[in-house]
Amino acid sequence: MKNNRWLPLLAVVVSCLGVFAGLPAAEAQQKAGARGTEISTNEVKQILFEGNIPVIDVRPEKEYAVSHIPGSTNIFETEVDRMNRLCASEAGGVVLYCNGPYCHKTLRVAESLYGKGCTNIKKYQDGLPVWRALGNTAESTISGFKRIYLLDKTAVLIDARSKEEFAAGSVPGAINLRADEIEAANNDGRLPYTDHGTRVIVFGADAGQARQLAEALSHRAYWNSSYLAATYDELKKAGLW
């Protein structure tokens, strides 16, 4: 029969399928090169709330400084040994994330970590873009605020402190706003209502005050919002103005 020439190839395919079918699901996944377990945004939130598993942002430090998931730690993708030591010291392993579904850093790091013996790897492949798209705010460091202040002239800087504190002095060009004023600010031009992708960064008397307002803004579709993880006094001491 003319089709007999395909029988050896068919036998190889069936044999390979049989090998993978006989593996436990997790082991088959590892054989396929898919290192780690993908987790959801809600699972990341729960992990951050419990605080017993490190969430690692594998992006460059400049990106992390400008905006990152609150509570995460920055370890660049090339620092695999450092991450592996952290993995070995934590019973729950580590969580990795970067710039969303099409960012390959998370996958590369997971492969490298697995090769060094870290098998308890959780991947938040949705990353920072989906985190923000789902109404969660991000956090900025003082160095990230400085970068935005000096380079992004379209950014909206928001002072969440009281009107009295704002009147006594603030970041040049900043506006004063509180959560109950968002609707009014949409109408009077203080907020970029016609361009919700404009970068918005909130600072306050402390990080808690700034975060509260930034979260309210993210729930009003200002998805590119973040808050300063420092006090206004610390920001002022940084000498940006």
What are the pLDDT digits (tens) for 24-69? 444 433 333 468 999 999 999 999 999 999 999 999 999 999 999 9
Residue 205 belongs to domain with CATH number: 3.40.250.10
Exposure b/e, 134-159, CB count within 10 A at least 16 = b: eebbbbbbbebbbebbeeeeebbbbb
Q: Is residue 40 part of a domain?
A: yes
Report the chain's mean pLDDT, rounded to a whole number.
89
User: Is 117 a residue whose pLDDT tops 50?
Assistant: yes
Q: Is residue 213 part of a domain?
A: yes
Chain segment 130-170, per-residue pLDDT in tens: 999 999 999 999 999 999 999 999 999 999 999 999 999 99
Q: If 0-12 CB within 10 Å is exposed, 13-18 middle and 19+ buried, where does residue 51 land?
A: exposed
Whether residue 157 contacts residue 129, with contact meaning beta carbons closer than 8 Å, is answered with: no
Assess whether 117 and 36 both reside in one domain: yes
Assess whether 83 and 174 both reside in one domain: no
Residue ending a domain, choose from 133, 165, 196? 133
* Unique residue bearing structure tokens 């031009």: 189
Q: Is residue 85 part of a domain?
A: yes
For the chain, the domain total comes to: 2
Assess whether 118 and 199 both reside in one domain: no
Assess whether 157 and 181 both reside in one domain: yes
Q: Is residue 111 part of a domain?
A: yes
Assess whether 148 and 233 both reside in one domain: yes
pTM given for the model: 0.84
Assess whether 116 and 180 both reside in one domain: no
Domain of 216?
A: 138-237
Chain segment 227-239, per-residue pLDDT in tens: 999 999 999 999 9
Residue ending a domain, choose from 133, 162, 187? 133
Q: Is residue 84 part of a domain?
A: yes
Q: Say which residue, 31 or 185, is predicted with more confidence.
A: 185
Chain segment 16-29, per-residue pLDDT in tens: 434 333 334 444 33
Residue ending a domain, choose from 83, 99, 133? 133
Assess whether 113 and 166 both reside in one domain: no
